[in-house]
Structure 1
């Protein structure tokens, strides 16, 4: 039996979707069966053995779709292994050190009994939607700070953890 993992994400300008895709590919390489979905398109999560959930940060908050998903699915999420990720800093800080979760994500970590949270660098480039995004880009503070090696390494650790849990669960039965 293959472990089914939901890789759910919120996004505004699709850079978080690219992070989710990297996570999905790494989990597949670990022998798991990941499915990548926008949180706004996820209904019932009963078919999944584990969930990786991520969102970009805007003004220190997760995207509204991710917050709604946590509220709507909290009971089901709390019954399975969950990992959280954020994308956001428009500088190299996320590659240089661990960045603690913002307050609402910290509360979600506790509420869902999530295994861990990580913040990856963000990406804001020309063509991004939104007035604030345009102001940031105009000020010269945009760019792509995602470290796909760091993202894949984190996802491989998640996958190895899940793979080990499946082996233990099978040996116990």
Structure 2
């Protein structure tokens, strides 16, 4: 299983690591790589793709990955996640995918998309990030229990056909 992600300040990479940990605990061999380090898709039976949200856009690296590997992704199970709201909204309700993630869903035939809360803390890169922090709107809004629960459903979906055979 491959988990790949587009991140600017590391929060989405950390979410990918949590997902990988759950999948490994469920007995699934899992590799976590940024899109730029993924070459051949052949070794992977399933893929999770994450993208940070910035100003309503899914991270460029995640979008590019789904375009470059669309054919291979359509041939295996794919799940998508977004990270970004800097408030508790992602833990309170389902947030629909932004346009770039919706296109990725169609392009890959993804089975599911979920939006998790984001994290923006002091030291974040980017002019917009600094402006948000200056306004006091930063913080860590990731719900690790919800992330682990979602990863557990991914593992269950992957293992279901194996257990039924």
For structure 2, the 5+ residue unaligned runs are: none
Q: Which moved more, 1:140-149 or 1:101-110?
A: 101-110
1:43-85 CA deviation, whole Å, 9 max, x = no partner? Answer: 1111100000001001111111111111100100010000000
Q: Where in structure 1 do 4 or more consecutive aligned residues deviate above 4 Å?
A: none
1:63-111 CA deviation, whole Å, 9 max, x = no partner? Answer: 1111111110010001000000000100000000000000121121122
**What residue number does 2:129 align with?**
133
Q: TM-score, normalised by structure 2?
A: 0.97
For structure 1, the 5+ residue unaligned runs are: none
Q: Is the 8 A contact 2:58 2:82 kept in 1?
A: yes
Pairing 1:43–2:16 present: no
**What residue number does 1:91 align with?**
87
Q: Is the 8 A contact 1:74 1:111 kept in 2?
A: yes
Q: Which moved more, 1:32-41 or 1:114-123?
A: 32-41
Distance 2:89 2:54 in 1: 16
Q: Which moved more, 1:63-72 or 1:89-98?
A: 63-72
Which of these residues, 90, 110, 114, is aligned with residue 106 of structure 2?
110
SS at match of 2:69: helix
1:3-48 CA deviation, whole Å, 9 max, x = no partner? Answer: xx10111111111111001000000111111111111111111110
Q: Is the 8 A contact 1:10 1:40 kept in 2?
A: no
How do 1:148-159 residues align onto structure 2 when only pairs under 5 Å count? 148-159=144-155
Q: Is the 8 A contact 1:87 1:119 kept in 2?
A: yes
Q: 1:166 Cα deviation (Å)?
A: 2.7
Distance 1:152 1:81 in 2: 19
**What residue number does 1:60 align with?**
56
Q: 1:165 Cα deviation (Å)?
A: 2.1
Pairing 1:34–2:14 present: no
Q: State the number of aligned residues.
A: 165
